[in-house]
A and B are shown apart, each in its own frame.
Chain A
Amino acid sequence: MELLEKNMFMDNTRLELKGIYKNFGNVVALKNISMTTNSGQINCILGDNGAGKSTLVNIISGVFKQSKGQYKINGKTVSFLNPLDAITAGISTVYQSLAIIPILSIYRNFFLGQEPIKNNIFKTFDKDFATTTTTQQLKKFDINIEDPKRMAGTLSGGERQILAISRALYFGAKILILDEPTSALGVKESNKVVEQITNLKKQNINVILISHNIDQAFVLGDKFFVIKNGDLVAQLEKSETSAKSLRKILEK
């Protein structure tokens, strides 16, 4: 609970990109991208496959470095060496397929890479803390699990996605990138995830949602960025547009 409350009163986390270019050899993947996203908002990046969404996300999350342009968080220029660097700075990405390891237990997944250590000579993995914390954190997202020692593969697709989101928040994510969080899910599971994403706004998280499902994105989002062939062709507030006109821009 502490973490949630802390987040609620936390200042805005602003992400700013200015004139970002990315080349792979002679191929220009991104051209002059400038955009700003703020906390407490769901910022949707829309575009077809191959439009440059992934490249953009990979720059934000520290996988790639931009060829040209400025990347700022709260007005300060940042430069990440790797994704871990970005995570430490509060920028987490939840990848659609790679978020959770099915053959690892739920609590081991939750603390993967950041295991709590007991203060004894053997520096043992504090499993009691890990299991209770995992159960508590998932409860906040309306997922009740009796046994966090179960394999994560026994969770439904939506639950796995939420597990990954709750893990990112627990470890201090202020900017959360969600890569097609519902595209592999059925309607019911998808609704569960959508509900929890909406709740992230109350926690003052700067959500960046990657999607090609325009209808769903329009319901969820506050701000829309449309990318085509590496260009940012439109940058619109919800009040300025509709699902229909977004689709028109995309299909033009």
Chain B
Amino acid sequence: MQGIKSYLQVSSEIGILAVGVALLMISGEFDLSIGSLIGFSSMSMTLLTVEGNMSIPLACLCSLFLTIFVGYCNGLTVVKSGLPSFIITLGSLFIVRGLTIALSKIITGRTQLGGISGSSGYDFMSSLFSSNLTISGVDFPISIIWWILFVIAGYFLLNHTQIGNWIFATGASKESSMLMGIPVNQVKISLFIFTAFCAWFISVIQVITYGGADVLRGEQKEFIAIIAAVIGGTLLTGGYGSIIGVMIGALIFGMVKQGIIFAGVDADWFQVFMGVMLVSAVLVNGTFRKKYVHG
């Protein structure tokens, strides 16, 4: 049970991010800035609480607006410029991380900030985002429940709504979708905003759980979320993917990461393994796509 808890905890954070990342990838775009967004979001909500004397829920709300505004800017720039989102969000990855570090140094002189556990609203937020559910003596973090809710919502949106059909179509063929009257730009911008929302959600869990923020939070999370999505069967070219598959991708990621530690293998090998998994998944997805599409 302790082992299951350990990998589910890792999987849940990646899994929540991967829902947003996968939906965006299915619509044909990438967001490399989400790792930086986690750092930005957690730093801004901690600053607002500690330096701005806001209650934690209010600070979270403010940082939500800031974070999804960055997501909106990413989306708008991609759509208006017509440039690959890979480049645009690679830019915002550095801009957001740099700004977070520079600003928190100017304001506090430090890159790590704690001391939110005494602020008003902490107990309430803690019960929502960092409490545990005890099952047969083991404390399971509540983030697992949130992960399941994100998966259900994402699955429902993609497979059982009109928007879901638009997401698939936008990623598969932007031109055909436009001819059928689908607002492809709005679809893409909304998904950039949703991805930023997922990053914000993770940052809330982390700030509440660890009682503070670090400007480097979320580093490399953008790649890990993409890896989970690809292992779960999402096509790099857009147009196809499954939220259940992505959930399994995140699960595999958590299991391997924690499994390697439990097995006593040097953790350095984990990166090698992930890289191999990623490349194999891309190859398999490509073959699968050809078969599936052309019968």
Residues of A whose CB lies within 8 Å of any CB of B are: 83-84, 87, 93, 95, 98-104, 108, 111-115, 117, 122-125, 127, 151, 153-154
Q: Tell me whether B169 and A125 are in contact (CB under 8 A).
A: no
Contacts of B160 in A (CB 8 A): 122, 124-125, 127
What string of 1s and 0s marks CB contacts (under 8 Å) between B172-197 and chain A?
Answer: 11011101111000000000000000
8 Å CB contact of A103 from B166, B180, B182, B239: B239
For the complex, count residues of B whose C-beta is within 8 A of A: 25
Majority SS of interface residues in chain A?
A: loop
Q: Is the CB of A108 within 8 A of B165?
A: yes
Flag if A153 contacts B180 (CB, 8 Å): no
| Most chain B beta-carbon neighbours within 10 Å: one of A103, A114, A125 | A103
Chain A residues with Cβ below 8 Å from B173 are 98, 101
A98 to B176, Cβ gap below 8 A?
Answer: yes
Residue of A nearest to B166 (CB): A113
B81 part of interface (Cβ distance < 8 Å)? no
Q: Knowing A123-B161, A125-B162, say if A112 contacts B156 (CB, 8 Å).
A: no
Task: Select one of A102, A111, A124 contacting B161, CB under 8 A.
Answer: A124
| The one of B162, B239, B294 that contacts A115, using a Cβ cutoff of 8 Å | B162
- Is B176's CB under 8 angstroms from A100's CB? yes
Q: Flag whether B72 is at the interface (Cβ < 8 A).
A: no
Given the complex, which residues of A lie within 8 Å of B181, measured CB to CB? 83-84, 87, 113-114
14 contacts between A and B (CB under 8 A): A98-B173, A98-B176, A98-B179, A101-B169, A101-B176, A102-B294, A103-B172, A103-B292, A112-B180, A113-B177, A115-B165, A117-B162, A151-B292, A153-B293
Judge if B71 is at the interface, Cβ distance under 8 Å. no
Q: What residues of chain B lie closer than 8 Å to A108, measured between beta carbons?
A: 165, 168-169
**B295 adjacent to chain A (CB < 8 Å):** yes
- Could you tell me if A122 and B161 are in contact, using CB atoms closer than 8 angstroms? yes
Determine whether B110 belongs to the interface, using a CB cutoff of 8 Å to chain A.
Answer: no
Q: A98-B173, A100-B176, A104-B169 are in contact. List 6 more A-B contacts (CB 8 A).
A: A99-B176, A124-B160, A124-B161, A153-B292, A153-B295, A154-B293
How far is it, in angstroms, between the C-alpha of A83 and the C-alpha of B169 when the chains are bound? 18
Instruction: Write the residues of chain B forming the contact surface with A, with a CB cutoff of 8 angstroms.
Output: 156, 160-162, 164-166, 168-169, 172-173, 175-177, 179-182, 239-240, 289, 292-295
Is B293's CB under 8 angstroms from A103's CB?
yes
Contact of B182 among A87, A113, A153 (CB under 8 A): A113
A108–B160 alpha-carbon span in the complex (Å)? 11
Q: Is the CB of A153 within 8 A of B177?
A: no
Q: Which of A93, A99, A104, A124 contacts B239 (CB 8 A)?
A: A104
In this complex, which of B156, B179, B240 has the most chain A Cβ atoms within 10 angstroms of its Cβ? B179
Q: How far is the CA of A104 from the CA of B173 in the complex (A)?
A: 10
When chains A and B are docked, how far (Å) is the Cα of A104 from the Cα of B293?
8
Q: Check if B164 sits within 8 Å of A125, measured CB to CB.
A: yes
State A100–B161 Cα separation when bound (angstroms).
20
Chain B residue nearest to A108 (CB atoms) is: B165
- Closest partner residue, chain B, to A123 (CB atom): B161
Q: With CB as the reference atom, state the residue of chain B lying closest to A95.
A: B179
3 A-B pairs closest in CB distance: A153-B293, A113-B180, A154-B295
Residue of B nearest to A99 (CB): B176
Decide: A104 and B172 in contact? CB cutoff 8 A. Answer: yes
- Residues of A contacting B292 with CB < 8 Å? 103, 151, 153
Chain B residue numbers with a CB within 8 Å of A84 are 181
Is B172's CB under 8 angstroms from A83's CB?
no
Q: A153–B294 contact, CB under 8 A?
A: yes
A104 touching B295, Cβ below 8 Å: no
Rounded to whole angstroms, the CA-CA distance of A101 and B175 in the bound complex is 10
**Contacts A103-B172, A154-B293; A83 near B179 (Cβ below 8 A):** yes
What residues of chain A lie closer than 8 Å to B156, measured between beta carbons?
A: 122
A61 closest partner in B (C-beta): B179
Q: A93–B166 Cα gap in the complex (Å)?
A: 20
A98 to B182, CA, bound (A): 14
Name the residue on B nearest A155 (C-beta).
Answer: B295
Minimum Cβ distance to chain B for residue A15 (Å): 20
